[in-house]
Amino acid sequence: MTPVNPVKISVHRIPAFDDNYLWLFHGSNSDQAYAVDPGDAAPILQALEDLSLSLAGIIITHHHGDHTGGIKTLLSHENVPVYGPVSDKIPQVTHPLTDGDILSLSPGMEFRVLEVPGHTLDHIAYFCDSTELAPILFCGDTLFSGGCGRLFEGSPIQMHHSLSRLAELPESTQLYCAHEYTLANLEFAIAVEPDNNDLQTYRNEVINARNNDQSTIPSTLEKEKLINPFLRSHTASLHQVAKQRTGQPPKNDAEVFAVIRTWKDSF
């Protein structure tokens, strides 16, 4: 997508459960808002009231309950379209989307759909570069700051391919993921790359932010490519780590990713 008339999008972070982030976004000159992955309806409804916004639609990345649990209640308040992946596990989806689809929500506010299987097989992400400021990515549980989603359904090869697709987006892209996992992710990342100075600096920033009850999300793709081991499987450093873990030189970057992801599962 090439921005012709860039729009300014306001994104609101809605904490839920223990560590989830739900998202509301709208054009800055509009009161029509879209809820992303509303696992719980109550905080979304409260935010709509507090911000004087109206619900215009619901956007889903994958079928897990902490991303879909609030859909039914929201629809009982407003009969709005539900955009999401082709999945029989999300029956409320009225507008199923597949890879390469363009979700046009208003003039200039267009999101490109990316299929990113791995965490689940039905996982999709939404990328918008028709923005006045930095591009936006709603990536659900595929990519976190300092980490990536656990492989509940997909294979390491699938997840590595999905993350590689996201890594090709502009480095200024703002990453809106669905969990505040950053500090725990960085503890693992430092175990993987203890000599990564960018990682050490970022960890200190995150500790300070969390000590002051500040969110670490959104992150940027530029930052993640420096500190996130799951976006760094192509580097010599990570290849060496994988070799040390298995005793064998890895055949390719996807194998490096698989070794690191398996390590993270038991970290």
Evaluate if residue 216 carries a pLDDT over 50.
Answer: yes
Q: Where are the beta strands (DSSP E) in the chain?
A: 9-16, 20-27, 32-36, 54-59, 82-85, 95-97, 102-106, 109-115, 124-128, 136-140, 143-144, 147-148, 174-177, 219-220
Phi, psi torsion values for 109, nearest 5 degrees = -100, 90
Euclidean distance between CA atoms 113 and 30, whole angstroms: 23
Domains annotated on the chain, with CATH: 9-265 (3.60.15.10)
Write out the two tokens for 251: 């055949």
Evaluate if residue 108 carries a pLDDT over 80.
Answer: no
How high does pLDDT run on average in the chain?
Answer: 96
Per residue in 5-57, pLDDT tens? 788 999 999 999 999 999 999 998 899 999 999 999 999 999 999 999 999 99
Instruction: Give 2's pLDDT tier (boundaries 50, 70, 90).
Output: very low
